[in-house]
Amino acid sequence: MLRIHNSLTRDKQVFTPIESGKVRMYVCGLTVYDYFHIGNARTLVVFDMVYRWLMAAGYAVNYVRNITDVDDKIIDRANKNGEPIEALTARMIVAMHEDTDRLGMLRPSVEPRATRHIDGMLNMIGTLVDKGMAYPADNGDVYFAVREFPGYGKLSGKSIDDLRAGERIAVNTAKRDPLDFVLWKAAKPQEPSWGSKYGNGRPGWHIECSAMCAAEHGDTLDIHGGGWDLQFPHHEGEIAQSEGASGKPFVKTWMHAAFLNMDNEKMSKSLGNVFTTREVLNKLDPVQGGEAVRFFLLRGHYRSEINYTWDILLDARGALVSLYTALRDTPPVKVEIDWNEPHAARFRDAMNDDFNTPMALAVLFELRNEINRTHSAELSGLLRALGGTLGFLQADPAAFVQGGAAGDEEAAEIDALILARNEAKKARNFAEADRLRDEIKARGIILEDGASGTTWRRA
């Protein structure tokens, strides 16, 4: 029985979908003005894991992850680059897919783009205005009237009065209340705009997701996810808009992934510690890198902050290589997971306890130890199958352990050096064997001598 921590109720609840056997899931995606950073990767990988586990549990999942392709940052970057907004966003969407593919992520069921849902946004804005929950202002903007929605603050735990007391937003005389937020922004020179009965303009941030959720899922979702920082104001705004327009509960279960810190500090451009996922991946072996980063990102529970350093990432890669080494040394048989098998049952119980990946991965390491001791092909198959539910251990084990920084040509050279070393050992020319060993080591290769011969992997 799957239990999920609901950010709205602040406790774990048994997951019961609106429609039996089916899950409607929406996750806030990326604003495509640049390569996404490693903190973004954490959120994306977490919800890819959730998506995979829901399917492994037998659910038919409609996973919607939006793309924000009109935004202040996009406009500013396109102007700085001297290129059309459409060219910038198209290029960044291609790059996003390249990097999510490298992380072993499945494509969502649907990836709606904000600019293709303008009509839906305007329809929702019109409904809110008609209900008296939003109002056109003299400056051409349309604002949501926060005090007209009694439930505002229920997700983040913030009260309107507390927010008003701590208000630091610059005075905007067009607003009736400083807390009101924009639904429709009046057009400005050299900015993209769309026609509406309120005048030419473009959507505010929050309305995008409310409209896309309604278009793809209807009035109520099973799961809505995103990074912890989106709880307020973004997700709070979504609740107000969606429930204000429909009069129905918006989301049954809210999920939020915690932050990734850089060397125990919050990522910040001012500190110069923001790294794109592409930068990190490009520093790693191309065969191992994507899965190693994925493994690092899922080693910690999704609701716990994790710390990134290069050494911690390399440690995660080494742990993953050790799992692949067990598969390499004991070729697995293909198995259907028997969830009554003790290891599988513990793995399932961990994942069903709010997606407890640290405990689930601990089961994989228990299996690794038993495989190394017993050389059981059946257990090796189970290790591969369980890992597959989280997007791990599906590559060729020998190729993964060896890596592929220089391709097949270097692998052939290493194999030739190993053969020459073995011949030197047979001839009792130990000085030559040691020289060859040192030459191999200098290439960053670790040799492993076993009963079945010598194998190698990258250090």
Write the DSSP assignment of 385-405 as a string of letters. HHHHTTT-S-S-HHHHHH--S
- CA-to-CA distance for 225 and 66, rounded, in angstroms? 11
**How many residues appear in the chain?**
459
Binding site annotation covers 213?
A: no
Binding site annotation covers 209?
A: yes
- Integer angstrom CA distances of residue 17 from 112, 185, 251, 435: 23, 36, 11, 64
- CA-to-CA distance for 310 and 346, rounded, in angstroms? 31
205: closest CA among 29, 39, 70?
A: 70
228: closest CA among 40, 373, 452?
A: 40
Give the tokens for residue 166.
């701590």
CB 242 within 8 A of CB 217: no
Binding site annotation covers 269?
A: yes
CB neighbour list of residue 129: distance below 8 Å, 6 or more residues apart: 135, 136, 142
- CA-to-CA distance for 173 and 164, rounded, in angstroms? 16
113: closest CA among 181, 31, 228, 236?
A: 31
| CA neighbours closer than 13 Å in the CB half-sphere of residue 447 | 20
3-state class (DSSP) for residue 88: helix
- CA-to-CA distance for 402 and 447, rounded, in angstroms? 10
3-state class (DSSP) for residue 24: strand
Residue numbering of the annotated binding site for ATP? 269
Residue numbering of the annotated binding site for Zn(2+)? 28, 209, 234, 238
